[in-house]
Amino acid sequence: MCHQTVSLVARHLEANGIPTVVLGSALDIVEHCGVARFYFSDFPLGNPCGHPWNPDMQAATVAAALRLIESATGPRTTVRSPFEWKPDPDWRGRYNRVRPEDREKLLAIGDARRIARGQPPRKEAPVRRG
């Protein structure tokens, strides 16, 4: 779900007396929205609780985020998860990178998925010249 949407909903709930904790990985967006409590995971978007197929990391992340309801000392409290996505500091440079030689193969996979769902394949983007 969109970090901005979740943050704005959290602010609305807080204004109506319901405590919230936002768990996410878009630090700039969530802090800009000014949520009361934010548990920040420096992970790729879509993975705020941890590595896929790692239920121990995910449970620990959710538990730590929920403890913020009791431990936050003031508004706009942000706590950073101690977990790392990968031991390699350059994972951001490679995450979801599409190499030019893989482009056509990935586009074909996407078209096949659309057709399987009963949707039309993508339309070719116009070629930019100049």
pTM of the model: 0.72
In this structure, the answer to whether residues 92 and 74 fall within a common structural domain is no
Same structural domain for residues 93 and 81?
no
Please give the single-letter amino acid code of residue 37: R
Chain-centroid distance of CA 13 in Å reads: 21
Q: Do both 41 and 8 map to the same domain?
A: yes
Convert the pLDDT of each residue in 31-86 to its tens digit.
Answer: 999 999 999 999 988 889 998 899 999 999 999 999 999 999 888 999 999 998 87
- Looking at residue 36, what is its pLDDT? 94
CA distance 23 to 38: 6
Q: 8 lies in a domain?
A: yes
pLDDT at position 130 over 60: no
State whether 22 and 77 are in the same domain.
yes
**Looking at the domain assignment, is residue 103 inside a domain?**
yes
* Residue that the structure tokens 């599409």 belong to: 98
Question: Helix, strand or coil for residue 116?
Answer: helix
Count of domains forming the chain: 2
- Domain that includes residue 47, residue range: 3-85
